[in-house]
Structure 1
Amino acid sequence: MGLKGSRMPEARVLLLGLDGAGKSTVLFKLKYNESCQTVPTIGFNVEMIDAKQNKRKIVLTMWDVGGQKKMRVHWRDFYQDTAGLLFVVDCSDRCRLDEAKRELEHALRNEQLRGLPLVIFANKQDVEGAVTATEITERFILRKTCSDRDWFVQPCSAVSGAGLLDGFIRMVHLVKTSSDDNIKETVKYLRSKSMRSVRK
């Protein structure tokens, strides 16, 4: 006779950023501690990562959504029931920083993300000439843009893993958990939605 265990508290975290920012590399490094060659994400990747929040075990369900222009219009389909936002910026690509800033601001204006914690991964710090976390803070005008939420900019390298755990732990401490999320239902809903848009 088995014991009926209670489910661990869960929180959904959205992993967004432009194409090529390193979102999938961040996700797989956090989950498996491995660097892997990734291809542009068409659709989304989902991984569950165990963590500790105030000495209790919780599960963070990380949704890595493709960052190509055609995928960004679908970001809002993933906002519901999100507890926190991880936004990855390629700090070595100065030409696209304004584009990244624009997309982040657009996402943060959505009602469903109002007041939710934000951690920005200032990625590719291992690349010579990359902008610093301080420069990202100033260039993205975060003190003004994020005045209604907890936020933090974490310098990191998704390839080496430097800084990733610090940023992840920061998000773990900021999110509110829920044991009512139904991951399977969400996946089913999103798949049916994406199938409908493919048929159109």
Structure 2
Amino acid sequence: MNEDVTSVSPTLGFIIKTIDFMGYKLNIWDVGGQRTLRSYWKNYFEKTDTLVWVVDATDRLRVGDCREELAGLLLEERLMGASLLVFLNKTDVEQCMTEEEVRERLGLNLIKTHKWTILSCSAMTGNNLNEGLKWVVQDAKDRLFLY
């Protein structure tokens, strides 16, 4: 996204950004993932088209917690109908988890209530970030033509 990521730190609270992508305006709400902030997440679900869930590919210890939180979110009424993009971040780091490992450990294949996909990416290099946003846009376009 052409931003300097060398000094990025975890989001505390939330950040709202609007980006132009492929002729569409995407409103992106970056909501912090710290345990103390999670009870506030549901305040930001209104009119959500896609939930982008970012997983740290180098952090095997927190995948169980990640799975529980994601499963709980997908039960939220305000996220019914929303699609799910799982970004597997830091895949440029050696010994990171693979897409298949994360798919299994998060139980993604068990998700039947939401359309979903998983993409390896790197916030540092930008690898696959545009591909993820393309998926989000195409998914939204496909759903618009269903109604």
Given the two structures, how large is their TM-score scaled by the length of structure 1?
0.67
- Counterpart CA distance in 1 for 2:109 and 2:140 is 20
The yes-or-no answer on 1:159 pairing with 2:129 is no
The yes-or-no answer on 1:36 pairing with 2:6 is yes
The answer for the alignment partner of 2:103 in structure 1 is 137
Question: How many residues align structurally?
Answer: 143
The yes-or-no answer on 1:123 pairing with 2:93 is no
The answer for the alignment partner of 1:17 in structure 2 is none
User: Once the 2 structures are TM-superposed, how far is the Cα of residue 142 of structure 1 from its aligned partner?
Assistant: 1.1
The CA RMSD over aligned residues, in Å, is 1.7
- Counterpart CA distance in 1 for 2:132 and 2:59 is 21
Which of 108, 112, 135 pairs up with 1:170? 135
Identity across aligned pairs (percent)?
35
8 Å contact kept, 2:49–2:81: no
- Counterpart CA distance in 1 for 2:52 and 2:58 is 18
User: Once the 2 structures are TM-superposed, how far is the Cα of residue 35 of structure 1 from its aligned partner?
Assistant: 2.1
**Runs of 4+ deviating beyond 4 Å:** none
The answer for the alignment partner of 2:44 in structure 1 is 78
User: Once the 2 structures are TM-superposed, how far is the Cα of residue 171 of structure 1 from its aligned partner?
Assistant: 1.0
SS at 2:26 equivalent: strand
SS at 1:102 equivalent: helix
The unaligned stretches of length 5 or more in structure 2 are: none
The answer for the alignment partner of 2:18 in structure 1 is 48
Task: Select the structure with the greater relative contact order (CA < 8 A; seq sep ≥ 6).
Answer: 1
User: Once the 2 structures are TM-superposed, how far is the Cα of residue 175 of structure 1 from its aligned partner?
Assistant: 2.3
User: Once the 2 structures are TM-superposed, how far is the Cα of residue 34 of structure 1 from its aligned partner?
Assistant: 3.1
- Counterpart CA distance in 2 for 1:36 and 1:45 is 18
- 1:30-72 deviation per Cα after TM superposition (whole angstroms, max 9, x unaligned): 3x343231233221111111123xxxx2200000011111101
The answer for the alignment partner of 1:106 in structure 2 is 72
User: Once the 2 structures are TM-superposed, how far is the Cα of residue 87 of structure 1 from its aligned partner?
Assistant: 0.4
User: Once the 2 structures are TM-superposed, how far is the Cα of residue 148 of structure 1 from its aligned partner?
Assistant: 2.1
Given the two structures, how large is their TM-score scaled by the length of structure 2?
0.90
